[in-house]
Amino acid sequence: MPIAENIRIFAVTMLTMTKLSVNINKLATLRNSRGGNNPDLAKAALDIERFGADGITVHPRPDERHIRYQDVFDLKKVLHTEFNIEGNPTEEKFVELVLQNKPAQVTLVPDALGQLTSNHGWDTIVHQQYLVDIISRFKNAGIRVSIFVDPLPEMIMAAKTTGTDRIELYTEAYATQFPTNKEEAIRPYQLAAATANELGLGINAGHDLDLQNLSYFAKNIPGLLEVSIGHALISDAIYLGLENTVQLYKRCLKPS
């Protein structure tokens, strides 16, 4: 890509604020721990929108240990901002759930059955044909598709050929290394972002991003469209309050 075009993309990115999608799985975990409907998930999601979030993310799993399948239907009816449903599309029930609700975005994550939390991206080379097929099902329904990937240029290049609209960079490695060497921590993600930008892929990111490391990440990843944050944000809200916390995370994403 010509240098002038790279500069243009970088300039546009700096003027465009990265969107914050709040993952509400942990609120569902709290509700489920006592039964009933406290906290009320739909009300909490609407409040999070009102407090400034640009979207709501849920990640239903087959055991429904946090988000239940019915929650997805209930949330779809009331949300005003972008709805992002994450999950493993090898579960046909998940595929049908997404197709029935038609969120703005589906994020495909290669979780194993019973996995505690997402911990790796797709091997977009090995699973190339499967991803082509499943992504086409969602895109034919008018749903934007993002796939979870590690910050490896070869995986991003292969992702391009799947037909996905975006990639979501798995940021646990960045978050782990950030306290000791933030320059080294960000470097693989900058290379991954450069590859995605050259290929015309949208860039999302998520996993272990928090108030300490988010601003640096956002400022150093050109083309970053969206971050999805759940555990850290909900944990911070215990001390700081939900409204204040959402706004603090939004502030981390403001362009310089």
Active site (catalytic) residues: 59, 86, 207
* CA 99 to each of CA 68, 74, 82, 179, 199: distance values in angstroms, whole numbers, following the listed order: 16, 15, 16, 41, 27
Q: Are strands 166-170 and 55-58 parallel, antiparallel or unpaired?
A: unpaired
Distance CA 43, CA 165 (A): 30
In angstroms, the Cα distances linking 7 to 131, 218, 235 are: 32, 17, 38
d(CA 79, CA 61): 21
Tokens of 126: 């090995």
Q: Quick one: tokens of 147?
A: 């796939």
CA max distance for the chain: 57
Do 162 and 122 touch, CB atoms closer than 8 A? no
CA 256 to chain centre: 22
**Please, which residues bridge with residue 146 across strands?**
107, 166
